[in-house]
Amino acid sequence: MARPLSAAGRALTRLALWACALGAGLSAGVFFAFSTFVMAGLARLPPPEGVAAMQAINVTAVTPLFMIALMGPALLVLAPMTVATPWRAGRRGVVIWAGGLIYVLAVIGTTMACNVPMNDALAALDPHAPASAARWSDYLHDWTAWNHVRAAAATIATGLFIAAARRASPEGVR
C-alpha cells in the first residue's frame, strides 16, 4: 500500500492544483473572449484588414506570460497526477486525472493540432491577394469552432482543478 503524503506533500499538491486552476482559468478567459467577440469583430473588417489584424494578434500572443498561463497547467498537473492516482486517491484522483487529461488533450492538443497550424497558414497569407478573402472566411469559421472547444475544455478543467484542490484531507490526498 502506498504511503500517505506528508503535510508538505499535500500542501504542494494543493498549491500545484490552485496554480493549474489559475492558468487554466486565464486561458479559458482568453479563449472565451476570442470566441464571443474578438473573432466577430475581426469578421466585420474588410478581409485584408481582418487578415492583417489576426496576423498581428498571432505574433503578439506568443508572450512569456501567456505561454506560462497556457502551457503551465499542462506541465504542473503532472505532479498531482503522479501522486494522486485514482487507485491511491479515490475520487479526488479521478478528478485530478480528468482535469489533467481534459486540459492536455482538449486544450493543448487542440491548440497544437488545429489552431496553431491554421495560424501558421494565415501567417503565410498575403492579406491583399485575390484568394485571401475566401481563405479568411474559412479561417474565421474553422479557427473559431476549434477555439470554442478550447474555451469549453479549459473552463471544465478549471472547475476540476478547483474541486480537486478543495478536497484535501489531513490523512492524505483524498
47 lies in some domain: yes
Query: How many structural domains are present in the chain?
Result: 1
174 lies in some domain: no
1 lies in some domain: no
The model's pTM is 0.91
- Give the contacts of 145 (CB within 8 A, at least 6 positions apart): none
| Residue-by-residue pLDDT tens, the chain, 174 positions | 456 778 888 899 999 999 999 999 999 999 999 999 999 999 999 999 999 999 999 999 999 999 999 999 999 999 999 888 767 778 888 999 999 999 999 999 999 999 999 999 999 999 999 999 999 999 999 999 999 999 999 999 999 999 999 975 444 444
Domain of residue 101: give its range: 7-166
DSSP-assigned beta bridge partners for residue 172: 169
171 lies in some domain: no
143 lies in some domain: yes
Residues 96 and 89 sit within 8 Å (Cβ to Cβ): yes
Specify the pLDDT at position 46: 98
172 lies in some domain: no
